[in-house]
Amino acid sequence: MSDAIAKPAQKVGTTAVQRCIVPACAAQFGIREQIYVCPRCGGPLEIEIPLELLKSVSGLHERWQARAASHEPRDRSGVWRFRELLPFDDTAPVVTLFEGNTPLYDAPRSAKYAGLTALQLKHQGCNPTASFKDTGMTTAVTQAKLLGARTVVCASTGNTAASLAAYAARAQLQCAILLPQGQISPAKLAQSMDYGAVVCEIAGNFDDCMRLISELADVPSIYIANSINPFRIEGQKTVAFELLEQCGWRVPDHVVVPGGNMGNSSALGKGFDEMLRLGLIDRLPKISIIQAEGSAPLAHLFAGLKPSELAADAALPDDIAPVTHPRTLATAIKIGAPVSWKKALRAVLRTHGSIITVSEQEIADAKAIIGRDGVGCEPASATTVAGIRKLTAASKIHASESVVGVLTGHVLKDPDYVSHYHRGTLSFESVTAEGTPKPVQISGAFRNAPEKVAANKEAILKSLESRR
Ligand SMILES: [Zn+2]
């Protein structure tokens, strides 16, 4: 690295601070203090990067691009090649599985389905453990090493657990994961077991697991790696940088993400904001969040905001009404009390995006359409295309605008769901207005079930002809 870049970058790593995002508090804490929320007011913490140190540095774009062709471990990571903007110095014990550098696909069938001229899908399922969580786990587990933690812990709907288990194994740290018993895709559970984590199946839902995590946070040898951890967001924000690089530094009009615990949308908001403040882009994309109908606390809150509360600089509400029994087959976003909702709402308000819901049927059909573009994603990821379709129909997105959907997990994360959809046997337990359970059959509108074909050439050709 040239001196002109190395010195400011070193300084960024050592002079970054942790700051409370509650404006009335805004307390500041050292970058190596082991805290997860503001010790003064309980508000969420955010890492503040001293961007002014980098403003005089030229050639950042070229430097980041050049690293993609290098074989140095940090350069091969799509997170650490943007290290000038990470709160670590050059001596940090980087724990990497060469995450990031994920593809941005053109998706013409999905575009047509969503009412757009063109649509691009950024596939974060192409990370080492097949979900977007890896980009944040590399930085969080590196911080755990720096702090001398013995054990890393998270609560998870599956993807976070798989990711933390893998990075802990790389770092040779003990890993414990808290999962809601019986509510996790078997594929995700299998990953955690394979990476050697202590898997604790809790008799409760994800929000019960989160409560236990907050009780473990005061054990000094334990480091909490849930998305409330601000170092996760630092790694995940690099997805915004990488996306801009892939777009030739032309800012897309819209970036659309699924909404679960909200770390993803928070991180993208921070990443784009830092690029704007550094002068590397001249505007922000509109960030929109899509939630599943039965698990949509932030969409409900957003729908109830008054016009004055929708302003880019509006004060954020103090509380969110949690969904006590979140319901969706998209288990990765089955979260009733998202921890990062304030940061996510701030990102949406600042960029004039939207927060909406989609139904189980809409998610399932969108997932099948994404598959027809040759791109396999897990159900939660498909909220993006389902949501874009609704936003286009409502004229919140125009057909000719540039739109990127962020896919968060790989299709093999939940193969049972896919198989049931295509065989026409996918069902969902909804509730009536009175609260009684009501099974709902999801129709496989784009189903593609296997068919029995006789063992001869003519039968195969006949089958092909009938499906043309
Ligand atoms: Zn505070």
Contact 388, 397 (CB under 8 A): yes
Give the distance (Å) from ligand 1 centre to CA of residue 40: 5
Give the distance (Å) from ligand 1 centre to CA of residue 177: 28
Residue carrying structure tokens 């409760």: 204
Question: Can you list the alpha helix ranges (DSSP code H) found in 98-217?
Answer: 108-114, 133-147, 159-171, 186-194, 206-216
Q: What is the distance in angstroms between the CA of the first residue and the CA of the last residue of the chain?
A: 55
Give the distance (Å) from ligand 1 centre to CA of residue 24: 8
Q: What is the pLDDT of residue 227?
A: 79
Q: What is the pLDDT of residue 172?
A: 97
Give the distance (Å) from ligand 1 centre to CA of residue 263: 19
Q: What is the pLDDT of residue 339?
A: 85
Q: What is the pLDDT of residue 7?
A: 67
Q: What is the pLDDT of residue 78?
A: 97
Give the distance (Å) from ligand 1 centre to CA of residue 427: 44
Give the distance (Å) from ligand 1 centre to CA of residue 220: 21
Give the distance (Å) from ligand 1 centre to CA of residue 38: 5
Give the distance (Å) from ligand 1 centre to CA of residue 171: 31
Give the distance (Å) from ligand 1 centre to CA of residue 342: 13
Give the distance (Å) from ligand 1 centre to CA of residue 319: 15
- For β-strands 151-155 and 104-106, DSSP reports them as unpaired
Strand, coil or helix: 330: coil
Half-sphere exposure of 2 (CA within 13 A, CB side): 10
Give the distance (Å) from ligand 1 centre to CA of residue 435: 38
Give the distance (Å) from ligand 1 centre to CA of residue 262: 20
The span from the CA of 235 to the CA of 29, in Å, is 19
Q: What is the pLDDT of residue 357?
A: 98
468 residues of the chain, pLDDT tens digit each? 555 566 666 666 678 999 999 999 999 999 999 999 999 999 999 999 999 989 888 899 999 999 999 999 999 999 999 999 999 999 999 999 999 999 999 999 999 999 999 999 999 999 999 999 999 999 999 999 999 999 999 988 789 999 999 999 999 999 999 988 887 778 888 999 999 999 999 998 878 888 899 899 989 999 999 878 999 999 999 999 999 999 999 999 999 999 998 999 999 999 999 999 999 999 999 999 999 999 999 999 999 999 889 988 888 898 999 998 899 999 889 989 898 899 999 999 999 999 999 999 999 999 999 999 999 999 999 999 999 999 999 999 999 999 999 999 999 999 999 999 999 999 999 888 888 888 999 998 999 999 999 999 999 999 999 988
Beta strands in 350-417 (DSSP E): 355-358, 403-407
Quote the pTM value: 0.94
Residue carrying structure tokens 């002809």: 465
Give the distance (Å) from ligand 1 centre to CA of residue 107: 43
Sign of CA dihedral 444, 445, 450, 455: positive
Query: Which helix (DSSP H) or strand (DSSP E) does residue 236 occupy?
Result: helix 230-236
Q: What is the pLDDT of residue 182?
A: 82
Give the distance (Å) from ligand 1 centre to CA of residue 37: 8
Give the distance (Å) from ligand 1 centre to CA of residue 35: 12
Give the distance (Å) from ligand 1 centre to CA of residue 345: 18
Helix 360-372, helix 415-423: angle, nearest 10: 90
Give the distance (Å) from ligand 1 centre to CA of residue 268: 22
Question: Can you list the alpha helix ranges (DSSP code H) found in 51-176?
Answer: 60-67, 73-76, 108-114, 133-147, 159-171
Give the distance (Å) from ligand 1 centre to CA of residue 18: 11
Give the distance (Å) from ligand 1 centre to CA of residue 235: 23
Q: Which two tokens stand for residue 283?
A: 């505007």
Q: Which two tokens stand for residue 269?
A: 């908001």
Q: Which two tokens stand for residue 427?
A: 């069902």
Give the distance (Å) from ligand 1 centre to CA of residue 140: 21
Neighbours of ion ligand 1 (CB under 5 A): 20, 22, 25, 27, 38, 40-41, 43
| Residue type for position 338 | P
Give the distance (Å) from ligand 1 centre to CA of residue 19: 8
